[in-house]
Structure 1
């Protein structure tokens, strides 16, 4: 089950995904040296707006796309905090595709984007909204948005609101 998957924390510890995100979640693979990096500001805005309603915004730094996340976990956290005021949790840097990819992303990659495509993460800042659907007995529902979808996009916000209502 998705909520039971262990995730790596920046301090080399682990926890269950469900501990970080007991309700709805927005999971994003992030990078500090990418054209989409300014999306951190919008993700932080979503965190501040929706965390009190039960949304967990979670970032996982990834260096798989043109080596755009070369820093250590500590350097990444400092950059995010100082540059964008990021207060939402960051996981340990990891892989989202291929051998050795994070178990969480193995599950998230099964989700289809609005054009009906599942599979590999194509670039930094893909967004996955995870909710529970009472109609399926609490099985997680995942909605996927590609990197170019900005955090303030109406469709993304609507999917967050739907996830919170589930």
Structure 2
């Protein structure tokens, strides 16, 4: 819970700092809405057995305006979103329409760049990117070197009493008792 400062003086006026704090405390639009700490565009990343998958919400973007690159263990997505505007305050809109006044503007447009560290090495040469309904989906296959591999364990049969200490005999996938060791 946020602490509220109060002016205990009897003037009836709020100090400027308090007035500004109150103004922004009730605001629905935060600095994060303009690409602040929260990051824009919003992005999800998850990993399954074979791939690292990235989903980025970029409404209004065109696939030709988006670039994706992978360098080492980092994926970088850059692009631009542009929306048709009806003109600013007092300006003429498209094709000589009458002047339009903007009362508020919440649809974001502009350039963006996001970079993310990948949780594992990926095979960028076999990556796939699709763009559907304003969502960019990257499928980055894990590098073969990072995928778990099952290693077959083989049992060796030894003959008791050998001085060399080296295993002798045929390879078997199951343990086979040797005569005289039972």
> TM-score by structure 2 length?
0.20
Question: If each structure's strand is expressed as a fraction of its own residues, which one has the higher value?
Answer: 2
For the pair shown, which has the larger CA radius of gyration, 1 or 2? 2
Bigger helix fraction: 1
Give TM-score, length-normalised by structure 1. Answer: 0.22
